[in-house]
Amino acid sequence: DAKTTQPTSMDCAEGRAANLPCNHSTISGNEYVYWYRQIHSQGPQYIIHGLKNNETNEMASLIITEDRKSSTLILPHATLRDTAVYYCIGGFGNEKLTFGTGTRLTIIP
């Protein structure tokens, strides 16, 4: 069973910020939250990860709530190439890992 909950799908207008939420209520204190995305049938690609503090890199920003039970991935200026399935992972508490079905983000021209 996936330990994260994400919306099945979302749309975002090109050029706008895409905000993708994730609930990971079972996450333990020393577990990082990771985000990946998968374009078509390619291998998933790492985006960003964090523990407590908000994080930013060249691809995205990650906002983690103070209680660490949820997070939001932000793509600040979405482009058509950001159309993909986005996976949030965390909260398994062991070395097993299943990605679940993620959020299918469609960027609309």
Partner 1 sequence: EAQVTQNPRYLITVTGKKLTVTCSQNMNHEYMSWYRQDPGLGLRQIYYSMNVEVTDKGDVPEGYKVSRKEKRNFPLILESPSPNQTSLYFCASSLNSWSSNTGELFFGEGSRLTVL
Query: Interface with partner 1 includes 14 (CB under 8 A)?
Result: no
Residue 17 Cβ vs partner 1, minimum distance, rounded to whole Å: 24
Q: Give every strand in the sheet of 33-38, ordered side by side.
A: 9-13, 103-108, 84-89, 33-38, 45-50
Binding mask 21-60 for partner 1 (x = CB under 8 A): ----------xx-x-x----xxxxxx--x-x---------
Where do we find the tokens 């609930």? 23
Query: Interface with partner 1 includes 101 (CB under 8 A)?
Result: yes
Query: Interface with partner 1 includes 61 (CB under 8 A)?
Result: no
Evaluate whether 85 touches 100 at the Cβ level (below 8 Å): no
Q: For the purposes of burial, counting CB atoms within 10 Å of the CB of 3, is it exposed (0-12), middle (13-18) or buried (19 or more)? A: buried
Q: Considering the complex, state which of residue 83 and residue 87 has its C-beta at the smaller distance from partner 1.
A: 87
Which DSSP category does 80 fall into? Answer: G
CA dihedral 9, 13, 16, 18 (to 10 degrees): 0
Q: Considering the complex, state which of residue 37 and residue 107 has its C-beta at the smaller distance from partner 1.
A: 37
Report the residue from 18, 82, 87, 103 that binds partner 1 according to the rule CB under 8 A: 87
- Provide the binding-site residues for partner 1, judged by CB under 8 A: 2, 31-32, 34, 36, 41-46, 49, 51, 87, 89-90, 92, 95-102
